[in-house]
Amino acid sequence: MNIAILECDHLQILLDVLRKRGYQVIGPTLGEGAIVYSDLNSTANLPIGWTDEQDGGTYRLKKRNDKALFGYTVGPHSWKKYLLPSELRLWKIKRNGVSFQIVTENEATRKFAFVGVRSCDIHAISVQDKVFMNGQYIDQHYTSQRKDTFIVAVNCGKAGGTCFCVSMNTGPKATFGFDLAMTEIIEGKNHYFLVETGTELGAEIFREIPHKQANEKEKCAADDILRKTAEQMGRSMDTSNIKDLFYRNHEHPRWNNVAERCLTCANCTMVCPTCFCTTVEDVTDLMSEHAERWRKLDSCFTMDFSYIHGGSVRASTKSRYRHWITHKLATWIDQFGTSGCVGCGRCITWCPVAIDITEEVHAIRESETVIGKQKTIVKEDIHANTGTLSGRTSFFKRP
């Protein structure tokens, strides 16, 4: 892989080249009191010199003491905002005498270039690729949008308070799924990016931008930054045998405990970069001549989600939280061959009552070790009993 140096001042040229090639360039900007993804025509619109502080149920912007362009982690938005829009008209239908005529609008009309995609989010995009492009049926809109998407990854120079990509093996360094990947380096007056090319298209575009070869010292500087980020993870999760952990614990007192806190507000599913559930809505005009079908993001935390005649399958809060976390961490693996969680921490930050996916996993795991210990003790007792009874085993012996 070719590794080069891009001066900070030349990043604007990258944005310009992308725009000239017909891309709608999207990147992190300040807005709504957070760092959100939006059109990015100028590097001046990046959250320069800003960072974020995140913890369970808390998100706060803060000034940095440098002019870093990417000195924060992920905000409430994810790239599914563009790849899986929250509302999409699937088709329009018109009565046509005795029949009807359908006009589809499944083709994506825009080409996106995402700038500043974190490694966890690249994994999230790849998870959704598996959902929408790898099955028996393909999501047309997603696929047509996705195939034209140009990805400029940014490796994380800092971990957030709710990040746990190291546990999920999804970061902090982007290792695949990008056209270009950059690590931002600030050393005194020097402010530059170490850039890797991931695809032929990435290399072609990068050739149009002034750059120089990276030397060993610069490569080491980037490695150092990423090593430090990995050491700073705000959260961690033990993922060993995690699928079976959930399959074993369909009934567990922890589900009642979390149900007492969970508001079923669906925030976690909205901010999650892999949550993909949608519903459809049919609308019609007053004359009933035209109708439309819309696809809208949905959440398994609503009652309607599992409604069948007679009531919801998952009526209790407990069952809905259990469904969500079990899907993320266990059933997803059976369905798509990958975890549905990429360790971005958004669900922890944006939960109004700070329910923490890592804590819930930990609690269930811990309870097992405790119960496990008790079980071993019980087992020993049983063994002790059989010991004392052993003299009587002949009682049950059959000739």
Partner 1 sequence: MKSIITEPMIPKPFRIHRKLKETHDTYTIELESTNGADGFPFSAGQFNMLYIFGVGEVPISISSDPSMPKMLKHTARSVGTVTKALLNLRRGDILGVRGPFGSHWPVEEAVGNDVVIVAGGIGLAPMRPVLYSFISHRDKYGKIILLYGARTPEDLLYKKELELWRGRFDLEVKVIVDSASGNWRGNVGVVTTLIPRIQFDPLHTVAMICGPEVMMRYTLKELQNCGIKNENIFVSMERNMKCGICLCGHCQFGPKFVCKDGPVFCYDHIKELFGKREI
Q: Compute the least distance from the CB of residue 91 to ligand FAD, in Å.
A: 18
Q: How many angstroms separate the CA atoms of 336 and 159, rounded?
A: 28
In the chain, the amino acid numbered 276 is: F
Q: Compute the least distance from the CB of residue 27 to partner 1, in Å.
A: 28
Give the footprint of partner 1 on residues 236-295 (CB under 8 A). 247, 250, 276-280, 282-284, 288, 291
Q: Are 354 and 57 in contact (CB under 8 A)?
A: yes
Q: In what order do the strands lie in the sheet with 190-197?
A: 34-39, 24-31, 112-117, 150-154, 180-187, 190-197, 3-7, 212-213
Only one of the segments 4-12, 149-157, 301-309, 336-344 lies at the binding site for ligand FAD (rule: CB under 6 A); that segment is 301-309
367 binds, among partner 1, ligand FAD, none (CB under 5 to 8 A by kind): none
Q: Compute the least distance from the CB of residue 328 to ligand FAD, in Å.
A: 24
Q: How many angstroms separate the CA atoms of 333 and 57, rounded?
A: 28
Q: In what order do the strands lie in the sheet with 290-297?
A: 99-104, 87-96, 290-297, 278-284
Q: Compute the least distance from the CB of residue 310 to ligand FAD, in Å.
A: 7
Only one of the segments 10-18, 62-70, 98-106, 358-366 lies at the binding site for partner 1 (rule: CB under 8 A); that segment is 98-106
138 binds, among partner 1, ligand FAD, none (CB under 5 to 8 A by kind): partner 1
Closest C-alpha to 158, from 219, 230, 220: 230
Closer by beta carbon to partner 1, 119 or else 302: 302
Give the footprint of partner 1 on residues 194-213 (CB under 8 A). none
Closer by beta carbon to ligand FAD, 309 or else 392: 309
Q: Compute the least distance from the CB of residue 279 to ligand FAD, in Å.
A: 8
Distances (CA, A) of 185 to 45, 49, 61, 318, 345: 19, 13, 21, 46, 24
Candidates 63, 189, 217, 309; binder of ligand FAD (CB under 6 A) is 309
Q: Are 75 and 59 in contact (CB under 8 A)?
A: yes
Q: How many angstroms separate the CA atoms of 27 and 11, rounded?
A: 13
Q: Compute the least distance from the CB of residue 60 to ligand FAD, in Å.
A: 41
Q: Is 307 near ligand FAD (CB under 6 A)? A: yes
In angstroms, how far is CA 337 from the centroid of its own chain? 16
Q: Is 283 near ligand FAD (CB under 6 A)? A: no
Candidates 63, 308, 369, 397; binder of ligand FAD (CB under 6 A) is 308
Q: Are 162 and 54 in contact (CB under 8 A)?
A: yes
**Adjacent-strand bridge partners of 160:** none
Closer by beta carbon to ligand FAD, 135 or else 311: 311
Burial 137-170 (b: 16+ CB within 10 A, else e): eebebbbebbeebbbbbbbbbbbbbbbbbbbbeb
**3 state SS of 263:** coil
1 binds, among ligand FAD, partner 1, none (CB under 5 to 8 A by kind): none
Total of residues contacting ligand FAD (CB under 6 A) = 3
Q: Is 110 near partner 1 (CB under 8 A)? A: no
Q: What are phi and psi of 58, to 5 degrees?
A: -130, 135
Which positions touch ligand FAD (CB under 6 A)? 307-309
Which positions touch partner 1 (CB under 8 A)? 90-91, 93, 95, 98-100, 102, 104, 106, 131-132, 135-140, 247, 250, 276-280, 282-284, 288, 291, 298, 300, 305-309, 313-316, 318-319, 322-323, 327, 330-331, 334-335
